[in-house]
Amino acid sequence: MPRTVTSRLIKNERNKMLRQIFVFSGLAVILTAIFIFVILPLFIRFINAVLSTNPIAEDETVLLQPPVLAAPVEATNSAQLKINGFDSVGHEVVIVLNGGEAGKVSAKEDGSFEAKVNLTEGENSITSYAIDEKDNESKTGQSYLVILDTEKPSLTVAEPLDSVTIASKDKLVTVAGTTEPTARIFVNDRIIFPNAEGGFSTRVNLNDGTNEVTVKATDDAGNTTEIKLTVNYSR
């Protein structure tokens, strides 16, 4: 009798487990069907709606790098300046002078390019930008400031006086004067730098007889002013 009761209990538990398995399996099938036929189509429809309101551009603008200009001189006395630089092959380089287009040039096979611009007296701002085959433009590159200065520097020689005769045991004569503070002074090819006020002074060794003293001032742009003096020396 106890064995029969035990067998019946085992059989009941087995049937209970089978019913649970069938129930869970049925739920899994139903949930899978809901996901495939309801949730997934709704999700796809939502994604398509988002993409249709925010379409991806097929031809986005390419971000071009600006040309690289070689640093030009800071000052010059020539109204025409040659510009050199590098950019990608096939690009057109636009030279910009004082905010306006000054010319176009194409980069060579090695990427180099050169152009000439006409400067105006005073400060000149120079930069450039690139244009590719699809007319995409880069931003402007580094800007450089070039000063066109065609005026000669001022120069006065206070001493010695021209054609002066010096009779002394000391064979040295003082050469002194004034010029622009940023100029360089050459006295018989010896360079002298003026002080903050433009004053300069040096000593020159004299030979017996007639001596020629040449004083030349040169500014940053290369302009020069020259004064020649004659100094006679005798003991």
- Per-residue pLDDT, 235: 80
Q: Hey, which residues does 205 pair with through a beta bridge?
A: 172
Contact 33, 26 (CB under 8 A): no
Task: Please tell me the pTM assigned to this model.
Answer: 0.67
List of residues 6+ apart from 48 with CB closer than 8 A: none
pLDDT for res 140: 96
pLDDT band at 40 (very low <50, low <70, confident <90, very high): low
| Tens of pLDDT, residues 221-232 | 999 999 999 999
Q: Which of 64, 58, 59 is nearest to 132 (CA)?
A: 64
Q: What is the pLDDT of residues 46-94, one digit of tens each?
A: 776 766 665 544 455 568 899 999 999 999 999 999 999 999 998 999 9
Token duo for residue 207: 């030979």
The reported pLDDT for the residue numbered 185 is 98
Kindly report the average pLDDT of the chain as a whole number: 87
Average pLDDT over residues 193-201: 97
Angle of CA points 175, 176, 182, to nearest 5°: 125
Q: Are 104 and 93 in contact (CB under 8 A)?
A: yes
